[in-house]
């Protein structure tokens, strides 16, 4: 049965496109739960859990964590949620993850509402990520260990190879909403809002 209150938004876009920040605001203003798989994995690493110890080298190398791990994490997160009101940030990242999510959402009677795709040129992306690393350091905070130019380039490559095919997956289903991701945070947010159902 489909619950009218359900809402499922999936943010797509390359690393450094600003998905996390925009998803955070959209979640707050629309009463949705943001599910960021990068944050969940980093939290495991910070707490030194068994999972965290296992995935740390993968994050540090800019590689993807195996699909089965991510799918189990998401299944747990969604279990018992009613209504299902979520924004995914950083998931799905592979076709296998997208197909698993489709099945999970069907079981829950919560179809995809929209898939904003944040478009940002490659060179801007690397600059933003390296800046983010530097700014954290300047504030005396620990930068994300994968926010270096070398790992950022690797993450872009992984995005092109493994995640870009999802543009076709959601495009074919009529869910994709391309958004120009260059501009101020507010401008980009307004463009995203304009695509929401």
- Applying CB under 6 A, the residues found at the interface with ligand ADP are 15-16, 37-38, 41, 58-59, 62-65, 70, 90-91, 93, 97, 146, 155
Nearest distance in Å: CB 90, ligand ADP? 3
Q: Is the Cβ of residue 113 or residue 148 nearer to ligand ADP in the bound state?
A: 148
| Minimum distance from residue 22 beta carbon to ligand ADP (Å) | 12
Q: Which of 93, 81, 83 is nearest to 36 (CA)?
A: 93
Q: Which phi and psi angles does 8 have, rounded to 5°?
A: -130, 115
- Choose between 91 and 170: whose C-beta lies nearer to ligand ADP: 91
Q: Structure tokens of 14?
A: 């390359």
Give 32 or 166: the residue with its C-beta nearer to ligand ADP. 166
The pair phi, psi for residue 156, each rounded to 5°, is -65, -40
> CA geometry: angle at 96 spanning 72 and 8, to 5°?
70
Taking the complex as a whole, how short is the minimal distance between the CB of residue 197 and ligand ADP, in angstroms?
A: 24
Nearer to ligand ADP, 155 or 175 (CB): 155
Q: What's the CA gap between 78 and 27, in Å, rounded? A: 16
Tell me, yes or no, if 132 is annotated catalytic.
Answer: yes
Instruction: Choose, from 34, 42, 155, 177, the residue flagged as catalytic.
Output: 155
184: left (phi over 0), alpha (psi -120 to 50) or beta: beta
Q: Which of 19, 42, 177, 191 is catalytic?
A: 19
Q: How far is the CB of 13 from ligand ADP (least distance, A)?
A: 8
Q: Can 173 be counted among the known catalytic residues?
A: no
How far apart, in Å, are the Cα atoms of 85 and each of 31, 107, 108, 189?
8, 15, 11, 19
The catalytic site residues sit at: 19, 93, 132, 144, 155
């Amino acid at each position: 049965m489909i619950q009218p209150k359900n809402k499922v938004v999936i943010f797509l876009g390359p690393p450094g496109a600003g998905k996390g920040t925009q998803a955070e605001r959209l979640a707050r203003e629309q009463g949705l739960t943001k599910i960021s798989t990068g944050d969940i994995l980093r939290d495991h690493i910070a707490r030194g859990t068994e999972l965290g110890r296992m995935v740390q080298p993968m994050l540090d190398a800019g590689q993807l964590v195996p699909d089965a791990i991510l799918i189990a994490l998401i299944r747990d997160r969604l279990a018992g949620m009613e209504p299902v009101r979520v924004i995914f940030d950083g998931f799905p990242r592979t076709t296998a993850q997208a197909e698993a999510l489709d099945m999970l959402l069907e079981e829950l009677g919560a179809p995809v509402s929209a898939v904003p795709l944040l478009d940002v040129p490659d060179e801007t992306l690397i600059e933003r990520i390296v800046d983010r690393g530097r700014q954290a350091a300047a504030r005396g905070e620990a930068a994300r260990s994968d926010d270096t130019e070398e790992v950022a380039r690797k993450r872009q490559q992984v995005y092109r190879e493994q995640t870009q095919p999802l543009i076709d997956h959601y495009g074919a289903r009529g869910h994709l909403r391309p958004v120009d991701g260059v501009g101020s945070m507010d401008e980009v947010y307004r463009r995203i809002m304009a695509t929401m159902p």
